Amino acid sequence: MATTCVVGILWGDEGKGKVIDYLAADTDFVVRFGGGHNAGHTLVLPSGKLVLHLIPSGIVHPHTVNVVGNGVVVDPVHLCSEIDKVRQRGIDIVLGKNLLLSERAHVILEAHRRQDQWAEGLRGSGKIGTTGRGIGPAYADRCARIGLRLGDLLRPERLRAAMQGLALQKNAWFAPSGLAPIDVEAAVRELAAAGDRLRAGIVDAGAVLRAAQKAGKRILLEGAQGCLLDVEHGTYPFVTSSHASTGGAFSGTGLPPHGMRVVGIAKAYATRVGEGPFPTELKDELGDKLRIAGNEFGSTTGRPRRCGWFDTVAVRYSAALAGVDELVLTNLDVLRGFPLRLCTGYLLPDGTRTADLPAFDLDVARPELIDLPGFSEDLRAVRSFDALPANAQAYVQAIEQHTGVPIRTISVGPERHQVILR
């Protein structure tokens, strides 16, 4: 199948950057379909670490066309500075050639960022723990039909009219809410300047992708965040505001639902940044130890990630939802010296047991855990499944058995070549 979609299986940070970088070597197009610069995709290149937030991870491969799809929300000012930073690393970016931006992608404004942080403040102890980058308000304005699209940045009259329309609605409640009103002229100036810089890249990306698919080009759809952060299917309301599961890959690119291979990325243990239910969370010293061993600190906000046991219930749910054909298991090397446990069901407060992810009450679900023997060997130089310690093999096989999804690829280190293919 020429089109592959890569999605995170839990709450993001599964190591998608590395997997996409690896797969992009054999790909013509790499396409982001959702989220914004709340994402942080880490690549470990021969020249060192590179964290991408908005630019697709294929940018490091000279032959790859990278597309920011219509489902992405774009902060144009951030994008300009991310392009500069990537160029400073010696990576060539030619807008219109190896970086295309959908003219339909919605724009994150400075006002969205302020609104995001203001709303989090109001939520108090019920806060979501957003990245504060304006993602939710930008998607909300898209649905409210007052948003701006990247194509507007190239059309001065439309840009001013759209900004005026948006400000009319928002300023009606910004001022009474203690938020500074939007300065339309200042926003127009800033957006037009960013539009000028990005002009050559702003195209009808959906049309380009449909033509590429028809021509048999290899397309890699790069999911951001993870299935459990999906606005509809995730752990609502502790989710992001986009369709992070496979469904978003169609609406967020304009590609039709033709055959697609879906690869799910799951870490060998579970992590979550921000608030929300996490049944297998380790709130003790072991959790702290795992955070250090796996360097589990957010690549966008630097926040410590919450760590816990691998949850086969959640992974099975997401794999079914996303239509996952195979899993990539990342960070297996990190579990060296740790006890190994898998969650295989939840106990609910009324005493019932479930092996399905509930839409409600996940916050009060208690995990049912099984123990497996651990391993003490360093896995980073292992390149074949048979060469893995028997206990590491048994752990992988137990995950396959409980999730029902084959694991074809295992990552045993941050670098490109630290991969086991089965």
Residues that bind ligand IMP (CB under 6 A): 11-13, 38-40, 128-131, 133, 135-136, 224-225, 229, 240-241, 273-274
Look up 41 and say whether it is catalytic.
yes
**324 backbone dihedrals φ, ψ, rounded to 5°:** -70, 125
At position 251, the amino acid (one-letter code) is S
Shorter beta-carbon distance to ligand IMP: residue 208 or 228: 228
Exactly one of 13, 21, 75, 333 is catalytic; which is it? 13
With CB atoms as reference, the residue minimizing the distance to ligand IMP is: 274
Shorter beta-carbon distance to ligand IMP: residue 138 or 342: 138
Shorter beta-carbon distance to ligand IMP: residue 170 or 305: 305
Decide: 59 and 52 in contact? Cβ < 8 Å: yes
Q: How far is the CB of 240 from ligand IMP (least distance, A)?
A: 3
Q: How far is the CB of 223 from ligand IMP (least distance, A)?
A: 10
Look up 204 and say whether it is catalytic.
no
Exactly one of 26, 28, 37, 41 is catalytic; which is it? 41
Q: How far is the CB of 337 from ligand IMP (least distance, A)?
A: 26
Q: How far is the CB of 15 from ligand IMP (least distance, A)?
A: 11
| Distance of alpha carbon 318 from alpha carbon 383, whole angstroms | 28
CA 215 to mean position of chain CA atoms: 28
Shorter beta-carbon distance to ligand IMP: residue 214 or 303: 303
Shorter beta-carbon distance to ligand IMP: residue 267 or 402: 267
| Distance of alpha carbon 325 from alpha carbon 386, whole angstroms | 22
Q: How far is the CB of 225 from ligand IMP (least distance, A)?
A: 5
Q: Is the dihedral of CA 123, 128, 132, 137 positive or negative?
A: negative
The catalytic site residues sit at 13, 41
